[in-house]
Amino acid sequence: MPSVTPLLNGYSLTSDQGNPAFCSVLLVESGDERVLFDFGHVGRRRKLLTTLADRGLEPADISKVVVSHGHWDHLQNADLFPKAQVLIHRDELRNLANPPATDFGTPRWAKAVLDDLDLHEVGEGDEVIPGIQVLELPGHTPGSIGLAVSTTEGTAVLAADAVPTLAVLLARRASGRPYDRERADASVERVAAMAQMVYPGHDRPMRLDPDGSFDYTGSVAPLEFRVP
């Protein structure tokens, strides 16, 4: 059955100068198939390549990559995978073509990152590879998507920023300034109702406990901060 491995962990970090925006980058494997979910931004480019190499992989070994949504911190490294099929929701492509000025997460150059790649539009229920289906989780952005992965532990949902943190999942309420608050809250509820495991956009993986609540699955090493 498919397995999910965090290549880069997601972190919720902020400062008085802005947000470092370290999102989760997830590898899904099933047999000889490898799917990457999100890519991170160029500040983590070297770390992503090193982490792949530590697993004996290089970008050419990834057959499909999934863009959860068009925010800069999730898609910048897509160009590392020119041979892969790039899966994205049609509504997200439409938004990338003409993002509103109020959307600071989607700069007007974002679509250029994807322009020379092998783009494929996907939607609800599309099978990425056996055991992995697309979930529409709109609200955070118009075409936000996740993946439902059938694992030995049950259904794992790769949620990206539809569920960025454990706090959002427990509150059943989207954070930040979503495009559509009602749809964003409904997407959080949907993930909570169907998942035994949740891989959030900017936090550690979570598991559904026997009492019906979610909690972290384990610890993540703290970031080591350095002065250049």
Angle at 61 between CA 56 and CA 66, to 5 degrees: 120
| 78's tokens | 């897509």
What confidence tens digit (pLDDT) does each residue in 151-186 have? 999 999 999 999 999 999 999 999 989 999 999 999
Single-letter code of the amino acid located at 205: P
Instruction: Report the half-sphere exposure of 57 (CA within 13 A, side-chain side).
Output: 20
The pTM score is 0.96
Return the H-helix or E-strand segment holding 46: helix 45-54
pLDDT digits (tens, 9 = 90+) for 37-96: 999 999 999 999 999 999 999 999 999 999 999 999 999 999 999 999 999 999 999 999
Q: pLDDT tens-digit profile of 110-146?
A: 999 999 999 999 999 999 999 999 999 999 999 999 9
- At residue 221 the predicted structure's pLDDT band, cuts being 50, 70 and 90, is confident
Neighbours of 192 (CB within 10 A): 20
Q: Which helix (H) or strand (E) holds 151?
A: strand 145-151
Sign of the four-CA dihedral 163, 165, 170, 174:
negative
